[in-house]
Amino acid sequence: MREFLDEVLGPTDDITRFEYTKKNNKESGPALVGIELKRREDYAPLIERMKKKGFPFQEVNKDPNLFHLLI
């Protein structure tokens, strides 16, 4: 989580939702993270930083069924 906050989020990005279930004996696991951007042009750099750091992600708002299930 610290790496995500320090190296992926931009200075004006804001986490609006965070859901994580810790599994026993695991250092990482799935999380639902809602991120609000101040500017539309911050989106592509955010995606690029997630890819560069190896954070797997799925854009929930691009999958209507998943979006309605989770939100």
The domains of the chain are located at: 2-70
pTM: 0.79
Q: Which residues contact 21 (CB under 8 A, 6 or more apart)?
A: 29, 30
* Per-residue pLDDT reduced to its tens digit, 23-57: 776 777 788 899 999 999 999 999 999 999 999 99
What proportion of the chain, given as a percentage, has pLDDT over 90? 51
Which residue, among 29, 41, 36, 31, has the nearest Cα to 9 in the 3D structure?
A: 36
